[in-house]
Amino acid sequence: MITRRAFTATGLAAGLAFAGRPVPAAHAAGSTHPVLVELYTSQGCSSCPPADEFLGKLAQRSDVIALAFHVDYWDYIGWKDPFGDPAHTARQRLYAASLRKRTIYTPQMVIDGVVDAVGSRWWDVEGKIKQRQAMGPAERTSIPIRLARAANGALAVAVPEAAIPKSARAGRADLFLAAMDSRHVTKVPRGENSGRALEDFNVVRGFSRIGRYDGSMLAVEVDPTAWHQGADRLAVFLQARDTGPIWGAAQLLL
């Protein structure tokens, strides 16, 4: 269950309230949110293991939030990816439209919702991460997100009042929750990776929109039954409508 609560309410969500005046869209140079990196990958793709390994390294960094979205369009060539999800493929297609790509591919990394790179080209990905980190307040919106767990396991998400970029379509953003398994090893008997033991990191097992943000203070409480019970970490991020730029991101280890 997902509930939206006012910041004047008592309880866990109220404990996350942001005091004082609204924060600006980019609250201070050098204090921006972690860069969100999304990898679109498949166990049925022979080019993907190097990108999967690289994502595992990114997942260890404090300045990056790394998500692996396994797609399903390689399942037909001999091995059905157990983590593949048509919803992940649909999200990748939305990026193809917003980033003006003619096609979708694996391994693809999307950095902060605004630029992509071949996931195995670590030098290209690293360069684009650094570019995002070096951007000033006028170029990269940064809205802080606070996360906490209640005794019953519920997740409380708090987003402060903030200025919405004038360029934002409809002046709104989606608040997303991704539930991840930090590591899986899978022996693949068929397909392009036949005979290999594949290691995957930060595998997204549940993904949902938990709120809409219009610049007003927002508090959302998510019941633990809303995500995959095997997950060991959660990521929450704000994304401008129509698969636009990431405005803020945070993660929590379970």
Residue 3 CB-half CA count within 13 A: 14
Q: Number of folded domains in the chain?
A: 1
Assign 166 a pLDDT band (cuts: 50, 70, 90). Answer: confident
Instruction: Enumerate residues 6+ apart whose C-beta is below 8 A from 205.
Output: 83, 179, 180, 181, 227, 228, 230, 231
**Residue from 91, 246, 97, 235 nearest 165 by CA:** 246
Phi, psi angle pair for 233, to nearest 5°: -155, 150
Instruction: Enumerate residues 6+ apart whose C-beta is below 8 A from 240.
Output: 113, 165, 168, 169, 172, 173, 246, 247
Tell me the percentage of the chain whose pLDDT exceeds 90: 78
pLDDT of residue 25 exceeding 80, the answer is no
Q: What is the CATH number of the domain that holds 78?
A: 3.40.30.10
CA–CA gap between residue 155 and residue 16 (Å, rounded): 11
Q: What is the pLDDT of residue 94?
A: 98
CA–CA gap between residue 61 and residue 35 (Å, rounded): 10
Instruction: Enumerate residues 6+ apart whose C-beta is below 8 A from 104.
Output: 40, 71, 73, 89, 92, 93, 95, 96
Assign 237 a pLDDT band (cuts: 50, 70, 90). Answer: very high
Instruction: Enumerate residues 6+ apart whose C-beta is below 8 A from 188.
Output: 43, 79, 194, 195, 196, 197, 198
Average per-residue pLDDT for the chain: 89
Q: Average the pLDDT over each of 16-25, 54-63, 68-77, 186-195 and give the range with the smallest value.
A: 16-25
Q: What is the pLDDT of residue 212?
A: 95
Q: What is the pLDDT of residue 3?
A: 65
pLDDT digits (tens, 9 = 90+) for 83-131: 999 999 999 999 999 999 999 999 999 999 999 999 999 999 999 999 9
Which residue carries 């953003």 as its tokens? 173
Range of the domain at 40: 2-253
User: Pseudo-torsion of CA 5, 38, 70, 99, nearest 10°?
Assistant: 100
N-to-C CA span, the chain:
18
Q: What is the pLDDT of residue 170?
A: 63
pLDDT of residue 47 exceeding 80, the answer is yes
pLDDT digits (tens, 9 = 90+) for 35-45: 999 999 999 99
Q: What is the pLDDT of residue 27?
A: 33
Integer CA distances (angstroms), 227 to 69, 203, 218, 237, in order: 15, 13, 20, 15
CA–CA gap between residue 252 and residue 108 (Å, rounded): 25
Q: Which two tokens stand for residue 246?
A: 């990431």
Assign 30 a pLDDT band (cuts: 50, 70, 90). Answer: very low
**Residue from 107, 109, 11 nearest 67 by CA:** 109
pLDDT digits (tens, 9 = 90+) for 178-207: 999 999 999 999 999 999 999 999 999 999
